[in-house]
Amino acid sequence: FEENLKKTKGYVIRKMKQDGNCLFRSVADQIYGDQEMHSTVREKCLDYMEAERDHFSQFITEDFNEYIKRKRNDKVFGNNTEMQAMAELFNRPIEVYSKSLEPINIFHLSYRGNQYPIRLSYHHGNHYDSICDLSNPSVGVGLGFPDFHPGQADKSQMNKAIKKSEFDLLNQQLYEEALLDSDWRETEMEIEEAVLAASRAEYLENLFNQHKQKKQ
């Protein structure tokens, strides 16, 4: 399945830790590019469900408040309800694959859009991994950045690095100019001190000669 997925669609499965956070890790990997941000994704997901309780409470059989409280805990598995919430929250449909080149389940948005889907692989009845399309990087899509396009995060980081390099070069040039200016100022001060010293010596010599002439 994994080889066929890569060969046919160009998708690569990124393995997530099997610690009960795998659903949120997989979504974090695609939204933030870092599965370790799973707690942030979990928190945002449950906050959204709580804010939209009138809608999501219809799909929860237990007490809704207790459900939200339990799901906020680390290492508690996420399910279809959370996936629907995250699809709406990040404005990206979620596609779930399992031993098939076509998704077995798709969680749609509350409104139509052309956003890049979040793709997950489902294994052994209880584990999710992240599926990445190498030809269309989508990290950052769904975070609400204006005029954001896939791959822009990498370009943005590169632009920042270039700007920092230019800034460091400018600082170095300014420093060198300031150093040269400082050296010149120091040279000027040394000349002034030498002139003052010479003038003082000349003054003392003249004073001594005048005193000597008076004695004669």
Q: What angle do CA 5, 7, 10 make, to 5 degrees?
A: 70
Query: Is-contact 71 63, C-beta < 8 A?
Result: no
Buried residues in 176-191 as b, exposed as e (16+ CB within 10 A): eeeeeeeeeeeeeeee
Residue owning tokens 């002439």: 213
Q: Which residues contact 26 (CB under 8 A, 6 or more apart)?
A: 16, 35, 118, 120, 128, 129, 130
Is 127 in the active site? Answer: yes
Is 132 in the active site? Answer: no
Query: Is-contact 10 133, C-beta < 8 A?
Result: yes
Is 22 in the active site? Answer: yes
Q: Which of 47, 123, 127, 133 does the annotation list as catalytic? A: 127
Distance CA 110, CA 69 (A): 25
The type of residue at 134 is: L
* Residues taking part in catalysis: 19, 22, 127
